Structure 1
Amino acid sequence: MPYTIHQQLAYNVWANEELAKTVDRVTEEQLVQPVLSSYPTLRETLLHIWEAQVIWPSRMQNKVMDRWPRLSFVGGKKEVMEALVTSAKDMQKFASEAGSEFLAEKMIYRNMRNMPYETVKEEILFHVVNHGSYHRGQAITIIRGLGITKIDNTDLITYLRISAGQQV
């Protein structure tokens, strides 16, 4: 049976929940400590993952965003991780309720630089999860650099094994 977007979105929820367990070991000070990465802090990296999970489903619903959501986000570690996990669940629910015909449609949209694009909606959702995996990896690297060694596994293969009832 082919791997579906719905399985991918379920994995994304699980991976964000696993990341939340790891981030729970980070202090509020470490969350905003400057780091050498794509984003200046762990908090900004996590908010970037959240942001993609908010922006793309919004675009699919023809909502225009002209400002990065993270710029107005207020909250510490608890709020960041709640937003990250909740947005993953919301995206999963959105895709489930939208149906396969909707997800197979091409979407015409503009990015935050106002450049026009056209992409199949389901492909966008695969991108959002892949994007999240990339930045979760960055977050883990940042966390390791902060001296935290107990890291929860967010690998897709681990999720697939757990989902199949296999021991990990």
Structure 2
Amino acid sequence: MAEDDALYALAGEVGRVLKLQGRVLAVAESCTGGWVAQCITDVPGSSAWFDRGFVTYSNQAKCELLGVPGETIQIHGAVSGETVLAMAAGVLDYSAADISVAVSGIAGPTGGTPDKPVGTVWFAWRRRDGVCRVQRRQFGGDRRQVRRQAVEVALQGILDVCRD
């Protein structure tokens, strides 16, 4: 598929930049279910710049594996800026990575609310040196399309944070 080729090319660029900068990446994924890590590990030699991925689909997993405070999820929801920021911080706490990305969203077709409709996805990128970005996006399309768009934004965001 051409769209898969585009993700592969983007992941390759992420690897090129991370390797050039001597940085290592780790990821935390909810709605993307490991797709970001899959794209990254499709790139030959990714073990030089990719440490690990956490697929924390349930709230319990976010808390247990990444140290997200239960109160954060209770107050703001799993799909929120506060939660992805805590996920991205947890990735750095529980890995040797220099850069992290966290993704949590509502891919559909159910689960949306008026405040957080289907297609709502939150992202956070963190560098160990303190640089941090958080972003909310609203995607259209079916479940696969929402997830694919989220993977693309996650990968592009890594490049952007590397260039900050």
State the TM-score, normalizing by the size of structure 1.
0.28
Higher RCO (C-alpha 8 Å, min separation 6)? 1
Bigger CA radius of gyration:
1
Identify the structure with the greater helix proportion: 1
